[in-house]
Structure formats: structure tokens, C-alpha cells
Amino acid sequence: MLKNENVILVTGGTGLAGTHLLYDLCKSGKRIRVLKRSRSNTDNVKKVFSYYTSDPDQLLKNIEWVDAYLLDVYSLIDAMDGVTEVYHCAAMVSFEPKDEEAMMKINIEGTANMVNAAMEKGIKKFCHISSIATIGRDEHSPVSSEEQFWKSSPDHSNYALSKYAAEREVWRASEEGLDVVIVNPSLILGACSWQQSSGTLFATGYKGIKYYTEGVNGFVDVRDVSAIMILLMESEIKNQRYILNSENMPYKDFFDLMNIEFGRPKAGIKAGKALSSFAWRAEKIKSMITGAAPMITKETANSSQRISCFSNQKILKVFPDYKFITIDQSVKDTCKLFKRDLSPALNRPL
């Protein structure tokens, strides 16, 4: 293992946020150790690097891959030997009931193991990627901020519950002496794998999106998420959490941005609660027959109907000169990369 005292440890390095974080850290000349499972596919990292540089292999030399498992605290302690900072990006994201138990263990127990190992090894600072799903909602305010308290609700998804509990583990560690920062990104947009994260939205958008709901959500470009995490870690800020959100936008407007970039007609059919309810039930039946993961679940259908707006004022007070990438530009850039990755023969993303 690298023994350089300035080694930075990253989990979740093959995901959307993780790959972009690795690129930014490597571009700055940082020495990176990345945790992975033995069966993990690291091809996404080189793929993302190639979006932004003509020589990804040169940057990849800054990365040391180490096999470890979030549920094995001893492997985490070993992996943190010589590490000064940790970015914890790894998490399981699922809205399928069958994944609840595994997701709770990975997101909660895995995070507890990470902060415990960090304290054991004397890590100087720990950055945790949480989610906008853990931000409390105030029925008297149209825009949610970091100050609003979480309230139990049947509307919370299992994913939200797991990330909220994971945050509590990070706060517990901060009370025990670990310096932490937490970021709560809204829906992260960007290019990585087109079969996971928001990449599936663009894969769907390429075919054209006809239906829309009246829901509203926050959106943020993955490049902003990575850049702000690094800014926070390199600052004196500690034991704070920040919403990362570029814009609040109706789903219809977001879908139409994709439709325009892909040369498809704008979404013209409103899907109310009844149609959404039918859609997730139909997807469930289809999934039972085919074995494929449903494109729509009960949780995602319900979420698509909600109006959820988020404030980014706290982070902008800390970095007043920071300019978020607009969602229009984010969609244009991501659609361009999606089309670049299309197989000419199969007309689908590689």
C-alpha cells in the first residue's frame, strides 16, 4: 500500500459521484486509494476520465485499488493505513422492497464501520455523501433547508431511511472527535454508466419521454458535487452539512430538456396519481415475469408526484463566488456524451 502521508481514501469510486471525484483529485496530483469489492468493475473510472482528458491512463497512475468490504471493519482499518482524509461515497440505492435489508446493512452498518475505522486510524477529516432525501420538509415553507428537522413519515422511502440513519452515524462520530462534513446532493446528473444512477434517465430519455407528472425536484451536476466536496475538505469547515442543489425544476421541464437534445417531441401526456399508480403496478408484474428490475416502483411513482424544492443558500454563503452549472447546460453536456457512447450498430449505449 501507498505510505505517503497525504493519501486520500475514497469509497464508491466506480459510481457517478465517485468517478468524478477521482478525476478531480487525480487532476490535482493527489495520491488516491480507492476501496472496491473483489468483483467490482473499474472500467467506469477510465471511461469517465476519457470524457475530460485525452490521456486517462496517466491520471489513473495516481490511483491504488484496494479490496475491502464496508461490512468488514478490519479490512477498512487496514485500508486506512497512512490515510489522512476520507471521502465516503459508497452507498446502495434501491427503491425495490426486496433490497431493503441489504441496503440498510450497507448504508447504515457500512457507514458506522467507516467512521469507526476513521477514528481508530486518526483520520483528520471525513466527507460523507448523504442525500437530499434526508432533508426535513416544512409544510409551511415551499423550500427546504438544512435547518428543517426530519420527521417520521410514511412518505419516506427505505433509501431515505437508510441514508438518514447513516448520517446519524456520522454525527455520532463527530461527537466522538472525528472532523466531518456532510453533503446532501439533490438528483445528481452526469455521465458514468448509463445503466445506473441518473444515467438510466438519459437512456430512457434517448427513446423519448411522452409522460410527465406535476412533480418538482432539485437537480445538481455531478461536477459541482465533486468540486464542492473538495472545497469543503480543503477548508477549515467541520461538523456541518450542506445541500448541493443547482436548480429546482418541474419534471416536465427536465424531461423536455432531454427530449430537445435527443430530437424527440416534448412530453405531452400528464400522468396523474391514478396513471402513476397503474404504471408501478404494471412494472411490478412485468418484473415478476421477466426477472428484470422494474423501471418504476411504488416509491419512485409517489416521489414523482411531489413538489420538492431545496435551498442552496448555506453553501453559497460559504463560497459566495461559486457558480453552479445550470441544469440546461448539465443536460446538454450529458446528452452529448450519451450520444458519443452510442453503439452505431446497436443504437444503444455501450
Residue 315 within any structural domain of the chain: yes
Residues in the chain: 350
Rounded Cα–Cα distance for residues 47 and 192 (Å): 7
| Structure confidence by residue, pLDDT tens digits, 243-299 | 999 999 999 999 999 999 999 999 888 776 654 554 445 444 544 555 556 555 555
What pLDDT, in 10s, does the model give residues 81-128? 999 999 999 999 888 888 899 999 999 999 999 999 999 999 999 999
**Residue 34: all three cell numbers together:** 480507492
**Residue at 226 is within a domain:** yes
Q: Pairing state of beta strands 269-270 and 240-244?
A: unpaired
Give the contacts of 50 (CB within 8 A, at least 6 positions apart).
56
Segment 179-187 shows an average pLDDT of: 97
| Bridge partner list, 160 | none
| Number of domains comprising the chain | 1
The answer on pLDDT for 169 being more than 90 is yes
Is 42 within 8 Å of 14 (Cβ atoms)?
yes
Query: Is the model's pLDDT at 344 over the cut of 90?
Result: no
Let me know if residue 270 belongs to a domain: no
- Please indicate, yes or no, if residue 293 is contained in any of the structural domains: no
Q: Provide the pLDDT confidence category of residue 50 given band limits of 50, 70 and 90.
A: very high
Report whether 19 contacts 13 (CB < 8 A): yes
Query: What's phi and psi for 177, nearest 5 deg?
Result: 115, -5
Could you give the count of Cα atoms lying within 13 Å of 40 in the half-sphere of its Cβ? 19
Residue 170 lies in a domain: yes
Per-residue pLDDT, averaged over 49-78, amounts to 95
Is pLDDT above 60 for 168? yes
Higher pLDDT, 9 or 149: 9
Q: What is the pLDDT of residue 181?
A: 98
Assess whether pLDDT exceeds 60 at residue 326. Answer: yes
Q: What is the pLDDT of residue 346?
A: 44
pLDDT for position 289: 57
More confident residue, 35 or 295: 35
- In terms of residue numbers, what domain contains 19? 7-190+218-246+309-325
Arithmetic mean of pLDDT, 199-214: 88
pLDDT digits 0-9 by tens, 217-246:
999 999 999 999 999 999 999 999 999 999
Task: Report yes or no on 123 lying in a domain.
Answer: yes
The pLDDT of residue 6 is: 82
Domain membership flag for residue 205: no
Residue 289 lies in a domain: no
Band of pLDDT at residue 148, cut at 50, 70 and 90: confident
Domain CATH code at residue 182? 3.40.50.720
